Amino acid sequence: MAAAITFGDFPLIHPDTIEVGVGELALAQHPKLLITLALGSCVGISLWDATLKQGGLAHVMLPHPPESMPTRDLHRFASVAVPDMVRLMAEKGSARRRLVAKIAGGAAMFASDTGIATIGDRNVAEAKRQLELLNIPLIAEDTGGGHARTVELHLDTGAFRVRSYLYGIREL
């Protein structure tokens, strides 16, 4: 049996956890928990339906795919992942009008991340733009800065827990 992974006194992974990798998205229903690790300039985008106690979590790396991009691995891009997650949740019974979103990440992780818009800034902007286009309210965010984050979406309450070594645990 594997030892539990902890963050201070808090378990980081519990048995009902679904880990969302970089460039992936996942949907689940309570009692499952969705988690994505080590968001730097990437953005974690969550959608939650309180009525069905189900949600989705995407870990996006970039705002848009390049024009020559093959059709695989497109969930790495906010412009693809957000509409796909909304569509997939609708297929599982979630009415768009019930969905709410929370996001985290979009940090400027390196000294070279300077200028008007870092990749993290652009990822956050595209995530927000997609949510706005789909009329999904963004009700909370923890974005920017220069630190990595791990996020988890609790599907019973919609709590979006953001963990960082610099700032501890914050619940949105």
Please tell me the predicted confidence (pLDDT) of residue 150: 96
Please tell me the predicted confidence (pLDDT) of residue 16: 87
Domains of the chain listed by start with CATH number: 18-171 (3.30.1330.200)
Which pTM does this prediction carry?
A: 0.88
Per DSSP, the three-state class of 116 is coil
Please tell me the predicted confidence (pLDDT) of residue 120: 94
DSSP 125: H
Report, as residue numbers or ranges, the catalytic residues. Answer: 42
Please tell me the predicted confidence (pLDDT) of residue 139: 98
Please tell me the predicted confidence (pLDDT) of residue 166: 87
**Measured distance CA(112)–CA(19) in Å, rounded:** 30
pLDDT < 70: residue spans in the chain: 1-14, 69-71, 110-116
Please tell me the predicted confidence (pLDDT) of residue 1: 35
